[in-house]
Chains A and B, each alone.
Chain A
Amino acid sequence: MAYVNFVKKYKLEIAMVLPLLLYILGFTVYPIIQTITLSFQDQYTKAFTLANYKEIIGKTEFKNAFFNTIALTFISLTLEMTAGLVIALILKRNFKGKGLLRSLMLVPMGVPTLVSGVAMTYIFGLYGYFNALLQKLHIIEMPIDWASGGLKTLLMVSVADMWKVTPIVILLLLAGLESIPDEVYEASNIDGATAWQTFKYVTLPLLKPSITMALILRAIDAFRIFELVLVLAGRATPVISTFAYDEYNNYANAYTSAAASTILLLIITVFIVGYLKIAGTKEEQ
């Protein structure tokens, strides 16, 4: 009865939310369940099996993709959070040309991810601008093939990713910095704290919610990185997303592709839960 009354009282509200809810259930939650189901199904008999997982885990490409995804996320996040924090701290200062700097910092946001990948191919190509610069500075003799795999390819993709998303990290952290009241800084000034002490004991702890937010947002996207790798590194350096695409597109195997996607989802979930747990327990101490 209470339930019926609730529906009657809020029928307009329910009608307004329902399309969104149904869409998310039908086009996000349901496909994800389908993907997870597929990953445990035999290709022919549809019976429950772990064969798809065994198959991809046995592949060298998948091992590489797994390692690359984790390494790439780690390198990208380190670069982006460091650069983002430094630039956000600079933008918190008052100086001539600050407005211009802020506008220039936003330029990468106006560039589609795919396009940033295209631009980076001109820079990191064998006869690209970066090799030319290194040769002019006599750091290297022969041009480096950045896309040939290994750590240098991961670094190249990380720099490309960093270029594209650091502006967002800057803005998120800057918003956090601006929400710290001036009185706190005045107090630490009066207590005679040095700049480093103020940063370590005042700014960083108060900035923690913004850092957590930026870190989780960035980690989710870094784990799912797709088009940048596709454009820059091709199939020589797979990540889990491009591996899943390859399995489906080039080997027409939806089952192993689904298994790869499920593993990726698992990694992301473990990361978020783990991070929140660690960040949470530290807070209690």
Chain B
Amino acid sequence: MRKIDISEKISNAAYIPIAIIAAIFMIIPVYILFITSFAVPSDILKPHPDFFITRFTLDHWKDVFLSGNIWPPFKKSFVVATMTTIIAIIIAAPAAYVIARMPSKVKYAVVLSLFFTRMFPDVGIALPIAVQFIKLNLMDTYLGLVMAHLIVNLPFAAWILVGTFETIPKDLEEAALVDGTSKLTALMRIIMPIALPGIAVTAIFVWLNSWNEFTYALYLTISDRTLPLQTYYYVQRGGIFDSATYAAILTIPVMLVTFFLQKYMKSGYLAGAVKG
């Protein structure tokens, strides 16, 4: 008979309470953010703000949408994220395919160096780029920001896609080559369609990364803010209902996508997806 020690007793007794506490801890900040955006000011702006609000108002949302201040940042964030995604996939997908087919030692080294591009501080990369962009008149432009967002997202997309292409058996394309198809046709007709779901998931992650991105946007923006910068602007001004509403708007697409892509949230993807 196996001995039951104290640590087993503790963990058997404690795991459910710990799980519940952890779950509450994970929910509370999001809950508070959303209730703040719907709260009547007098319920929140007092020494002991209400945790359970009973009165709801759409005023803050109306203010944000009717003021018109939201549309230019929304458009900029949306267009930049979409352009970044398209270009990132066009550049990263072919490269990832080649990397996936390299001999395993070389592949390992390449994947590792892709990973280590992350160790460079963003502020160190953004600085010379900002200095350069001022000279080239690229500040505040969509193009400039797309170029900056590719810095983070190209290695990230390539990293995830190498994993996708690795799972596609080599025999498939070899069979096609034997039949006399060219390499390029084999790739476009056979490999890419199979890899499409993986590419789609990668694209969504890239889109979200760009949608949320803050540091490069901060360095490369003078007046045309993105949605995260607009949120930060209201945080600095101390408008808590504006900042809560903007933050909520920024969060909704990310939340929805994360919820529906839960099953893809595996460690392989995450290794690169750690940036929020």
| A interface with B by C-beta (< 8 Å) | 12-13, 16-17, 19-21, 23-24, 27-28, 31-32, 34-35, 38, 83, 86-87, 89-90, 93, 95, 97, 100-101, 103-123, 127-129, 132, 135-136, 143, 163-165, 167-168, 171-172, 174-176, 189, 192-197, 199, 210, 213, 217-218, 220-221, 223-224, 226-227, 230-231, 240-241, 244-245, 248, 254, 257-258, 260-262, 264-265, 268-269, 272
Contacts and interface: CB of A to CB of B under 8 A. Distances in A.
A204 to B, nearest CB: 13
Contacts of A248: 127, 130, 219
Residue from B25, B128, B228, B271 having most chain A Cβ neighbours under 10 A: B128
Contact of A115 (B155, B215, B247): B247
Contact of A129 (B16, B49, B127): B49
B11 A195 contact: yes
Given A17-B94, A97-B19, A109-B276, 11 more contacts: A27-B150, A38-B127, A95-B16, A105-B26, A108-B30, A114-B250, A132-B49, A175-B266, A217-B271, A217-B274, A220-B118
B99 A17 contact: yes
7 contacts: A90-B15, A114-B232, A115-B250, A171-B265, A172-B270, A254-B127, A257-B127
Interface string B1-30: 011111110010001101100110111111
A161 B16 CA distance: 24
Contact of B29 (A105, A116, A132, A143): A116
Nearest to A245: B123
A17 B257 CA distance: 30
Contact of A241 (B29, B47, B122, B211): B122
B15 A119 contact: no
Interface of chain A: mostly helix, strand, loop or mixed:
helix
A185 B118 CA distance: 36
Interface in B95-135: 95, 97-99, 101, 117-125, 127-131
Contacts of A136: 48
Contacts of A17: 94-95, 98-99
Closest 4 CB pairs of A and B: A261-B124, A110-B258, A195-B8, A175-B267
B40 interface: no
B3 A192 contact: yes
A169 to B, nearest CB: 9
B203 interface: no
B32 interface: yes
B267 A268 contact: no
Nearest to B32: A122
Contacts of B130: 248
A211 to B, nearest CB: 12
Interface of chain B: mostly helix, strand, loop or mixed:
helix
B145 interface: no
Nearest to B23: A104
B33 A119 contact: yes
A167 to B, nearest CB: 8
Given A107-B30, A111-B30, A245-B218, A254 B95 contact: no
Residue from A112, A123, A195, A245 having most chain B Cβ neighbours under 10 A: A112
B244 A122 contact: yes
A194 B4 contact: yes
Given A114-B228, A217-B271, A119 B247 contact: yes
Interface string B215-232: 100110000000010011
Contacts of A95: 15-16, 19
B239 to A, nearest CB: 11
Contacts of A112: 211-212, 214, 228, 250-251, 254, 276
Residue from B27, B147, B158, B274 having most chain A Cβ neighbours under 10 A: B274
B264 to A, nearest CB: 11
B70 interface: no
B58 interface: no
B228 A16 contact: no
